[in-house]
């Protein structure tokens, strides 16, 4: 049985929530526009500011420059930031994922080099996994690293690499041993300096011209031995072991919350008919469900568990909810959306273009459902 025990916040956690909420109210009062979660324009000054407040790399141990706090504390910060439309994208990958990967698989040298830099928003990471013919079937990646004196020579191409145009490093999955029938064997992760000779980053633009992701080409790029993450050949296990971090967070159901908030601002004085009230009530009830699920996973991460299947469920249902929320807001406002109109319209226009990507990035919903179904049948003794 998949279980999400309820997990109320304690007094210290509620105080953290109030502190972050007050910070964001103040930030917004300074005239900064709300943006949509991880699609926000990167804002390095903002990332540095919240680093100064101790809100990046919260669960990184103090010996590596972190704050020794919890995944729940990070959940609280992220929830408040997303709900207020904060520009979190620059530090996002490092904070959510790379720091955890480094803690688990990195050498002491890598931990001391990169973790304080992530915590202080001095270095930004992106994820170089997908390739033109390897998305859902990630183990089929063809980017190849060949051993050479003191390191590796990397050749190949990545695609859909979010943030590669401002990140410093890409954690790149590549083949380091010949492909056999067991394609999950022989993959490795390299930390690739995106400014290195032989790396080319080319933008891929969305319909509205927005630039979030890229193609990344590796052409005889030298990657030193000390930039190998974990064991050579163990890349698949490493990548999949962090999925609970990647898929369970509030970013999987809260990206569109600034739109719902603006709608609420617009309607709060209006007399709403029953159908609109019901639609808003349903949205809120569903949001509270995903919040309970996500928070419950954060508690389990703090207990050393990696509930990857529960995380897949949050991402599948949460990203569907985000799409449903956008459609509900469009039905309720019932007008032509103006991309250069007021904040509600501008956010909604952005969401209409980007929402189809929510159920793809980080693993498509079809693939997530396969993961969930297999687990239910194999491990939990429940045929469908």
Ligand X SMILES: Cc1cc2nc3c(=O)[nH]c(=O)nc-3n(C[C@H](O)[C@H](O)[C@H](O)COP(=O)(O)OP(=O)(O)OC[C@H]3O[C@@H](n4cnc5c(N)ncnc54)[C@H](O)[C@@H]3O)c2cc1C
Residues known to be catalytic: 246
Instruction: Closer to ligand X by CB, 268 or 378: give it.
Output: 378
According to the binding rule CB under 6 A, does residue 267 interact with ligand X?
no
CB of 25 to ligand X, least distance (A): 29
Instruction: Closer to ligand X by CB, 35 or 161: give it.
Output: 161
Q: Report helix, strand or coil for 190.
A: strand
Number of CB atoms found within 10 A of residue 178's CB: 8
Query: Pattern 160-199, binding to ligand X, x per CB under 6 A?
Result: xxx-------------------------------------
Instruction: Closer to ligand X by CB, 279 or 316: give it.
Output: 316
Q: Which of 54, 61, 65, 135 binds ligand X (CB under 6 A)?
A: 135
Alpha-carbon dihedral angle through residues 98, 101, 102, 106, given to the nearest 10 degrees: -140
For the chain, what is the radius of gyration of the CA atoms? 21
Q: What is the largest CA-CA distance in the chain?
A: 73
Residue 265 CA to chain centroid, in angstroms? 28
Q: Which of 103, 357, 373, 375 binds ligand X (CB under 6 A)?
A: 357
Q: Which of 185, 210, 360, 373 binds ligand X (CB under 6 A)?
A: 360
How many residues form the binding site for ligand X (CB under 6 A)? 19
Q: For residues 58-117, which are near ligand X according to CB under 6 A?
A: none
CB of 315 to ligand X, least distance (A): 12
Q: Where are the beta strands (DSSP E) in 225-309?
A: 228-229
Q: Which of 46, 105, 125, 213 binds ligand X (CB under 6 A)?
A: 213
Instruction: Closer to ligand X by CB, 148 or 200: give it.
Output: 200
DSSP string, 311-339: HHHHHHHHHHHHHHHHHHHHHHH-S---T
Closest to 322 in 3D by CA, of 346, 357, 271? 357
Q: Which of 324, 370, 375, 376 binds ligand X (CB under 6 A)?
A: 370
CB of 128 to ligand X, least distance (A): 6
Alpha carbons 180 and 22: distance in angstroms, whole number: 55
Q: For residues 271-300, which are near ligand X according to CB under 6 A?
A: none
Instruction: Closer to ligand X by CB, 73 or 350: give it.
Output: 350
Q: Which of 50, 101, 119, 127 binds ligand X (CB under 6 A)?
A: 127
CB of 332 to ligand X, least distance (A): 26
Q: Which of 35, 51, 59, 130 binds ligand X (CB under 6 A)?
A: 130
Residues 255/318, Cβ–Cβ less than 8 Å: no
**Of 68-76, 155-163, 176-184, 327-335, which part binds ligand X (CB under 6 A)?**
155-163
Q: Which of 199, 276, 367, 376 binds ligand X (CB under 6 A)?
A: 367
Q: Which of 129, 192, 311, 348 binds ligand X (CB under 6 A)?
A: 129
Tokens of 12: 């210290």
Give the count of alpha carbons within 13 A of 175, CB side only: 21
CB of 367 to ligand X, least distance (A): 5
DSSP secondary structure letter of residue 131: B
**Of 44-52, 56-64, 221-229, 359-367, which part binds ligand X (CB under 6 A)?**
359-367
**Of 47-55, 159-167, 194-202, 337-345, which part binds ligand X (CB under 6 A)?**
159-167
Residue 291 CA to chain centroid, in angstroms? 16
Residue 331 CA to chain centroid, in angstroms? 28
Q: Given the DSSP bridges, would you call strands 228-229 and 211-224 parallel, antiparallel or unpaired?
A: unpaired
Which DSSP helix (H) or strand (E) runs through 126?
strand 125-128
Q: Report helix, strand or coil for 348.
A: helix
Residues 121/130, Cβ–Cβ less than 8 Å: no
Number of CB atoms found within 10 A of residue 320's CB: 15
**Of 8-16, 66-74, 183-191, 356-364, which part binds ligand X (CB under 6 A)?**
356-364
Tokens of 180: 């056999």
DSSP secondary structure letter of residue 98: I
Give me the residues that bind ligand X (CB under 6 A), please.
126-130, 135-136, 160-162, 213, 357, 360-361, 363-364, 366-367, 370
């Amino acid at each position: 049985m998949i279980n999400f025990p309820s997990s109320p916040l304690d007094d210290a956690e509620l105080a953290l929530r109030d502190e972050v909420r007050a910070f964001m109210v103040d930030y917004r009062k300074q005239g900064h526009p709300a943006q949509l979660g991880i699609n926000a324009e990167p804002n390095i000054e903002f990332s540095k500011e919240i680093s100064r407040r101790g809100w990046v790399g919260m669960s990184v141990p103090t010996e590596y420059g972190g704050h020794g706090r919890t995944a729940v504390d990070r959940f609280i910060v992220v929830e408040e930031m997303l709900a207020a439309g904060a520009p979190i994208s620059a530090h996002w990958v490092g904070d959510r994922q790379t720091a955890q990967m480094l803690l688990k698989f990195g050498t002491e040298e890598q931990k001391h080099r990169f973790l304080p830099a992530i915590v202080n928003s001095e270095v930004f990471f992106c994820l170089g996994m997908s390739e033109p013919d390897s998305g859902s079937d990630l183990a089929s990646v063809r980017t190849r690293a060949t051993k050479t004196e003191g390191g590796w020579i990397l050749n190949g191409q990545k695609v859909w690499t979010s943030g590669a145009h401002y990140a410093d490093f890409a954690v790149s999955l590549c083949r380091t041993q010949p492909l056999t029938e067991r394609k999950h064997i022989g993959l490795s992760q390299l930390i690739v300096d995106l400014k290195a000779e032989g790396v080319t980053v080319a933008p891929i633009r969305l319909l509205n011209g927005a630039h979030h992701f890229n193609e990344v080409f590796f052409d005889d790029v030298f990657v030193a031995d000390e930039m190998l993450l974990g064991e050579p050949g163990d890349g698949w296990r490493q990548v999949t072991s962090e999925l609970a971090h990647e898929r369970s967070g509030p970013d999987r159901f809260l990206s569109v919350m600034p739109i719902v908030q603006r709608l609420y601002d617009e309607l709060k004085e209006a007399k709403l008919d029953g159908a609109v009230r019901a639609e808003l009530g349903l949205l809120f009830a569903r949001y509270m469900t995903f919040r309970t699920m996500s928070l419950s996973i954060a508690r389990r991460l703090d207990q050393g568990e990696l509930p990857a299947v529960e995380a897949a469920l949050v991402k599948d249902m949460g990203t569907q909810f985000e799409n449903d929320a956008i459609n509900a807001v469009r039905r309720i406002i019932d007008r032509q959306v103006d991309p250069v109109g007021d904040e509600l319209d501008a956010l909604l226009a952005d969401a209409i273009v980007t929402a189809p990507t929510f159920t793809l990035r980080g693993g498509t919903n079809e693939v997530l459902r396969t993961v969930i179904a297999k687990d239910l049948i194999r491990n939990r003794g429940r045929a469908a």
